[in-house]
Amino acid sequence: MFFGWWAMKDYFVFGDSRFDQVQWITAQPSDDKPCYRGDMAFDLKQRVLLRGMPRNIATILLGRPTWEDHGQIEYELGYCLWREHGLRLYFDDNDKLIRSRIVQH
C-alpha cells in the first residue's frame, strides 16, 4: 500500500490546482500555507512544462528561479509533507527542457 501511495504522491500532494502565472509569481510562504506553490506543481509538470520548451520561455512563465546552475533551475514550492520541496527543471546544451521533477531537500 505504501508503494502505491508513494508512486502517486506527486498527484495527491502537488495536484490540487491548475497553474496560474500570477498566483505562482506572487505566492509567499505563510503559517496557513507552508506549501505555497505545491498545489500547482503537478499541473506544471503534466501540462505546461513540455519537453523541448526553451529555458527563456520557462523563466518568463515562472519568474526568477530560486536556484540555478548550468543545465538546471529550481523553484521553491515550500514545506510540503514536512519537508522543503522544489520544482527542478533540467535543460540540454541548447537550453531546451529535458524534464521537470519535484525534488525534496
What pLDDT band is residue 82 in, cutting at 50, 70 and 90? Answer: confident
Fold of 2-104: Beta-lactamase Inhibitory Protein; Chain:B, domain 1 (3.30.1450)
Question: Residue 75: which pLDDT band, with cuts at 50, 70 and 90?
Answer: very high
Q: In angstroms, rounded to a whole number, what is the distance separating the alpha carbons of residues 26 and 85?
A: 18
Any idea where the domains of the chain sit in the sequence?
A: 2-104
Asked if pLDDT for residue 6 goes beyond 50, the answer is no
* Mean pLDDT, the chain, whole residue set: 89
Window from 7-11, 18-22, 56-60, 91-95 with minimum mean pLDDT: 7-11
Q: What is the mean pLDDT of residues 82-100?
A: 96
List b or e across 59-88, with b for residues whose CB sees 16 or more CB atoms inside 10 angstroms: eeebeebeeeeeeebbbbbbbbeeeebbbb
Q: What is the pTM of this model?
A: 0.86
> Average pLDDT of 32-36?
92
- What is the model's pLDDT at position 24? 97
